Structure 1
């Protein structure tokens, strides 16, 4: 609100002073929130880079082992061996609050706790290379889910950082300076009014004294 559009009253001055106190406090809190979000965001970005490299390497190793298994077995034999999986995996999705951002948390659950259930075939007619390939994929699965969790968290935190940054800038460059300018304007106007009132009172007093003096004469 431009200073010229403000009603210069004491009530408005009191309201604006309260607004300024709230805006300054909110600006500090939002700056602290932005800084903490940035710190945690950078930690997650570093974790994301580490996990991505680990997952990509794990998938690359698993593919290499499947190629080796393919050399020892025919495509039909591999398809038959993997046709009926014994294990079942589910993912429970919850969330945790980080600086008012609800980031996802993935929890892996398997139908059974037997580690051998990842192999949906008997070992008599398959290659040990296929076992290594299946085990490699099983080993990389937790890291893949953690990577998905961290990447989603990074996206959500980046969005929250941008919103917080805009609010900080709005308070710092628009709301607080505008409120301070309005307070200054109202204070100046009230001082002017007070000086005008004093001048009028002095004139009235002089007139009354002159009139009283005239009557006395």
Structure 2
């Protein structure tokens, strides 16, 4: 760093070094906590995805079996009238100063107690099983989307924090330490030179006497 090698400048740089060291420790602690939270989210994401895929697979297997035993026009009539209208509600929560999404489904009217919008005379039990499985998919999909987005946001924050930690650890702090060391050596040399001149002056004065 290009600075004047003065004691005042050295004290100022020592203050900056102290602040940078404290900031580095805080950022390192933040990075460690972010990684811990991120690891938990990744595990939750894996569990949710596995659960959703299993439920979806069971539902589709039952639906394929039902569709093979039910005429297409009957299936069309069975799903022509939806029982419920749902709105997506998007909120947020703060984790480690990150605004993470919270997704919930809101039923526009009171949720229907009837789970099926069709009669049972022309449909099969496999269709009922398929809808039982698929009716649980939406909350799981919203939770999975919420967790995956949170993972992405936390990964971005970890990367930003890592860059700041590295900038302090490998650039700013070493530069400050090197500059302080340079000023101290310069001041020591200046003091020794001053002391040498003073001693020579004393010798000259004493020799004249």
Task: Work out whether residues 87 and 117 of structure 1, in 8 Å CA contact, stay in contact via their aligned partners in 2.
Answer: no
Counting only pairs closer than 5 Å after superposition, residues 73-152 of structure 1 correspond to structure 2 as 73-116=70-113, 118-152=115-149
Q: What is the TM-score when the length of structure 2 is the normalising length?
A: 0.91
Q: What is the TM-score when the length of structure 1 is the normalising length?
A: 0.87
Deviates more, 1:111-120 or 1:165-174: 111-120
- Match of 2:92, SS state, is strand
Counterparts of 2:170 and 2:114, CA distance in 1 = 62
Shift of 1:11: 2.0
2:29 to 32, 36, 48: 32
Match of 2:193 in 1: 196
Match of 2:151 in 1: 154
Match of 2:172 in 1: 175
2:50 to 28, 49, 53: 53
Structure 2 gap ranges (5+): none
Shift of 1:37: 0.6
Shift of 1:208: 4.3
Structure 1 gap ranges (5+): none
- Match of 2:87, SS state, is strand
Shift of 1:118: 5.0
- Match of 2:99, SS state, is strand
Shift of 1:109: 1.1
- Match of 1:165, SS state, is helix
